[in-house]
Amino acid sequence: MNIKNNPIKLRIATPAEAEFGRSMITPHEERHNCGGYSFYMEQPQYVLVSTINLNLYGGFENNNGEIESSGWLGR
């Protein structure tokens, strides 16, 4: 989903939002069954926020220099 043209109006997160979003990702070296909800993914290049539903998404820059979502991080 491209950040410029998407139905959930993604924007780049503020520094505080980005820190919170990244804190929800379990680092590879800490992967285990923690009895809760954990994300096992690489740290995203960007953290994106949907201004429609306030969900957080990972983001990356594609080969065309556009920012795209790489997956849901949570709410």
Domain boundaries, the chain: 10-74
Which pLDDT score, from 0 to 100, does residue 75 have?
Answer: 54
Beta bridge partners of 46: 59
69 Cβ neighbours under 8 A, 6+ residues apart: 1, 3, 6, 10, 48, 57, 58, 59
Which pLDDT score, from 0 to 100, does residue 54 have?
Answer: 84
57 C-beta neighbours (distance < 10 Å), count: 24
What pLDDT, in 10s, does the model give residues 8-66? 999 999 999 999 988 887 666 666 555 554 555 677 899 999 999 888 999 999 999 99
